[in-house]
């Protein structure tokens, strides 16, 4: 159990972490998300007692880290894969740590086997690839068989097999009743690994909730309903009935309807009741990535009005940092336009570069322009030939904002 | 809900907590937990210092310099001294030149012992594994001092024995033997320890090595350019208390008549090192890693 209360860290006049309070509970994988420079690593270092907080405190199992009795047996951490002396062989590196913590030397060979480095144990870690370095760091974290584990970007540089291994490792560690706190930029990975999320932006807490709640709260799913193309009047009829029943209906470009606020069975019932045949009735769950983009996007707007001077990166909003670090990410319009056959979830972000500042809530208008033919409907029929605004096209595929009251219930029902 | 939200109270999140697996309250490791002490840190630092190549290189070069120059100097003197020209000095003094040059190696190793951990980031791993920062620095100091002392003593004794056998000079007394071997070895090891502590304060290998070589050589170099009569006193003090002159005191061949004598250099170096060590400990506890 990690508990932070009012954690604040300033470097000179730069505030890296401000008034951060959260709890990381045992028995689950807690994801720690935030754009680059949002204070994740600083927070991790404060948890481990490496940096002293300017204000507030953070405890593990009720103790500050530096007061923990035999800390390495209670907490294991992977902070930085390259935090090793490159001239030392992998085994000696782990052996020195084991000796420091009073761990038997045979445990070293054990963890080397766990991470799959036994063949290079005698080689100097200077020659290790990034992935091998990560494995060595994970081995160091596992060395004390601790109850609390912290991983900062553990899957960086790992091959797909390694990513899968880390994912299962995290889950199994949590299932054993341990506290697992892991930061990552890979949203798809987090969606698969984490049960709970703590999201920070610019050093402040943005969200502390389960992954499911997070997606629901920040990016609602919706139901796509398609009536027979041959009978357009059925579409109007159904839209009217759905609106009457309390649903929120948005027409899509290819003639389908995007419905929020109504569970799938209810939509089906209404269609049956109004005697409208359906060609498609499908749930669309928003992704964690989309929800994260939306959330951190909001953080920029929120922060820039309240804390302009203390900003970390005025010129580059945190939401603009894509989860896949690629050269040139700072340039507007770097994102490829969404291919029509994709759901287009990741493309909520470019609004941050292009049009977001002058369109605070573009979703409601953008949604009708969504070029989203359902799989199987190859020729998209642009029923309402809405002109693609140059400002908003990438926004279009984003889900419409659900009213906060319906948001938590709606995706569950849809599914 | 894209606005910040306070952390959920524990009762408000039962669904995710119940989800993964059996609800163990905590995890208990089967590996026995022992209470760690300085002994563990010493074992760890010993593993560290013996498992990097820089240790072998610096100590190798050190032994080469001390033994090589010590023997060469004595051999030259032995070859060029006429029969019957018995000096007042003992043959132990020929070890001085090698040790003076070799001390640069000890300085380098001392600095690297601490500063390289900062350079590589290893210090974060170390301090995570042992949050008692003072214990880590103390263990480093003890291990390094022991290594430096043993290596210096072995080289110095070897050179002294060879020199005394080779050069036809006054037979050194027991006290001279002690000062010329053990005394000078403690002094060199303390100089290395000072470097280690400076490395912990500066946290940068090149910077700390530069500072320590400056400490070693600068007083003599500065004194050389003090031509003015008014600075004569300062010049004298700089020369007398420069590290090379302090080192030579162990061989009773000081460059000047006044200044430190006998075992004085050892106490001076011990005091300086202790003071800097205390400062480094305080900084280590206070600063972020």
pLDDT (tens digit per residue) in B101-110 = 999 999 999 9
Among the residue ranges A48-62, B104-118, B159-173, the one predicted with the least confidence is: B159-173
CB contact under 8 A, A79 and B44: no
Among the residue ranges A193-202, A373-382, B161-170, B250-259, the one predicted with the least confidence is: A373-382
> What is the residue-averaged pLDDT of chain A?
76
Nearest CA distance, B128 vs chain A (angstrom) = 6
Nearest CA distance, A351 vs chain B (angstrom) = 16
CA distance A286 to A401: 11
Nearest CA distance, B168 vs chain A (angstrom) = 47
For residue B134, the chain A residues in CB contact (below 8 A) are none
Q: Between chain A and chain B, how many beta carbons pairs sit less than 8 Å apart? A: 200
pLDDT at A253: 82
How confident is the model over B119-149, as pLDDT tens digits?
999 999 999 999 999 999 999 999 999 999 9
CB contact under 8 A, B124 and A96: no
Q: Give the C-alpha distances (Å, rounded to integers) separating A212 from A217, A379, B16, B80.
A: 8, 34, 9, 90
Q: What is the DSSP letter of A287?
A: P
pLDDT at A184: 86
pLDDT at A299: 61
**pLDDT, greater one: B69 or A309:** B69
Q: Which residue has the tokens 């090793």?
A: A84
Residue A177: is its pLDDT beyond 60? yes
Question: Which of A313, A398, A323 is closest to A355 using CA atoms?
Answer: A398
- Most A CBs within 10 Å: which of B5, B29, B112, B129, as the mutation test of the A interface? B129
Global pTM exceeds 0.95: no
CB A163 within 8 A of CB A189: yes
Among the residue ranges A91-105, A391-405, B50-64, B218-232, the one predicted with the least confidence is: A391-405
Residue A220: is its pLDDT beyond 80? no
Residue range A151-155: average pLDDT?
Answer: 92
pLDDT at B255: 59
CA distance A251 to A238: 11
From the list A77, A92, A177, the residue facing B128 with the nearest CB is A77
Nearest CA in chain A to B21: A175
CB contact under 8 A, A73 and B33: yes
Residue range A132-145: average pLDDT?
Answer: 94
CB contact under 8 A, B17 and A25: yes
CA distance A240 to A173: 51
CB contact under 8 A, B16 and A28: yes
pLDDT at A349: 36
Domain boundaries, chain B: 38-286
Residue A364: is its pLDDT beyond 80? no
CA distance A320 to A372: 24
From the list A48, A88, A294, the residue facing B51 with the nearest CB is A88
Residue A62: is its pLDDT beyond 60? yes
pLDDT at A215: 81
Where is mean pLDDT largest: A161-165, A292-296, B231-235?
A161-165
Q: What value of ipTM does the predicted structure carry? A: 0.86
- Most A CBs within 10 Å: which of B20, B46, B118, as the mutation test of the A interface? B20
CB contact under 8 A, B16 and A145: no
Which tokens sit at B190? 């303390």
Residue range B148-152: average pLDDT?
Answer: 97
**CA terminus-to-terminus distance, chain B:** 37
Nearest CA distance, B273 vs chain A (angstrom) = 25
């Amino acid at each position: 159990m990690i508990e932070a209360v009012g954690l604040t860290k300033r470097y000179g006049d730069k505030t890296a972490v401000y008034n951060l309070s959260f709890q990381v509970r045992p028995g689950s994988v807690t994801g720690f998300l935030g754009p680059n420079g949002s204070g994740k690593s600083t927070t991790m270092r404060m948890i481990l007692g490496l940096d002293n907080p300017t204000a507030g405190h953070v405890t593990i199992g009720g103790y500050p880290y530096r007061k923990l009795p035999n800390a390495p047996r209670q907490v294991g951490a992977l902070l930085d894969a390259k935090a090793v002396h490159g001239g030392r062989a992998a085994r000696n590196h782990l052996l020195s740590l084991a000796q420091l913590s009073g761990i038997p030397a045979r445990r070293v060979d054990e963890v080397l086997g766990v991470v799959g480095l036994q063949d290079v144990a005698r080689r100097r870690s200077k020659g290790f690839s990034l992935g091998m370095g990560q494995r060595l760091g994970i081995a160091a974290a596992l060395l004390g068989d601790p109850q609390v584990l912290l991983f900062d970007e553990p899957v960086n540089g790992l091959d797909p097999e390694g990513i899968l291994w880390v994912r299962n490792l995290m889950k199994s560690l949590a299932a054993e009743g341990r506290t697992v706190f892991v930061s990552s930029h890979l949203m798809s990975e987090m969606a698969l690994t984490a049960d709970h999320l703590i999201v920070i932006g610019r050093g402040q807490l943005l969200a502390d909730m389960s992954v499911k709640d997070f997606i629901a709260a920040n990016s609602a799913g919706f139901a796509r309903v398609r009536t027979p193309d041959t009978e357009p009047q059925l579409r109007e009829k159904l839209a009217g009935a759905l609106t009457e029943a309390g649903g929120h209906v948005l027409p899509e470009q290819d003639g389908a309807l995007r419905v929020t606020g109504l569970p799938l069975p209810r939509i089906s019932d209404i269609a049956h009741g109004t005697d409208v045949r359906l060609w498609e009735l499908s749930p669309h769950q928003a992704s964690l990535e989309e929800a994260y983009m939306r959330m951190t996007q909001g953080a920029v707007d929120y922060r820039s009005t309240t804390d302009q001077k203390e900003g970390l990166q005025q010129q580059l909003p945190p939401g603009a940092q894509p989860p896949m670090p690629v050269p040139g990410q700072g340039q507007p319009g770097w994102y490829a336009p969404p291919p029509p056959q994709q759901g287009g979830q990741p493309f909520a972000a470019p609004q941050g570069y292009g049009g977001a500042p002058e369109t605070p809530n573009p979703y409601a208008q953008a949604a009708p322009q969504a070029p989203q033919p359902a799989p199987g409907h190859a020729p998209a029929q642009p029923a309402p030939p809405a002109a693609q605004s140059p400002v908003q096209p990438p926004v279009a595929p984003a889900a419409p904002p659900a009213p906060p009251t319906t948001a938590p219930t709606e995706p569950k029902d849809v599914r | 809900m894209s606005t910040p939200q306070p952390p959920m109270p524990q009762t408000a999140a039962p669904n995710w907590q119940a989800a993964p697996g059996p609800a163990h309250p905590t995890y208990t490791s089967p590996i026995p937990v022992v209470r760690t002490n300085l002994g563990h840190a010493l074992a760890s630092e010993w593993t560290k210092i013996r498992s990097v190549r820089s240790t072998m290189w610096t100590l190798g070069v050190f032994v080469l310099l001390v033994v090589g120059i010590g023997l060469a100097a004595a051999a030259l003197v032995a070859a060029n001294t006429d029969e019957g020209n018995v000096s007042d000095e003992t043959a132990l003094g020929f070890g001085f030149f090698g040790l003076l040059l070799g001390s640069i190696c000890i300085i380098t190793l001392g600095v690297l012992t601490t500063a390289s951990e900062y350079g590589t980031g290893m210090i974060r791993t170390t301090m995570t594994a042992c949050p008692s920062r003072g214990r880590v620095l103390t263990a480093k100091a003890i291990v390094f001092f022991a290594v430096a002392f043993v290596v210096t003593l072995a080289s110095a004794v070897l050179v002294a024995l060879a020199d005394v056998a080779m050069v036809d000079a006054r037979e050194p007394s027991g006290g001279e033997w002690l000062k010329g071997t053990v005394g000078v070895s403690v002094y060199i090891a303390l100089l290395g320890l000072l470097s280690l502590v400076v490395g912990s304060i500066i946290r940068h290998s090149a910077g700390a090595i530069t500072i320590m070589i400056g400490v070693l050589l600068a007083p003599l170099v500065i004194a050389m350019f003090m031509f003015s009569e008014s600075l004569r006193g300062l010049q004298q003090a700089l020369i007398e208390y420069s590290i090379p002159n302090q080192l030579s005191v162990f061989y009773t061949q000081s460059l000047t008549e006044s200044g430190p004598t006998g075992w004085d250099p050892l106490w001076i170096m011990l005091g300086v090192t202790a003071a800097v060590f205390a400062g480094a400990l305080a900084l280590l506890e206070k600063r972020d890693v």
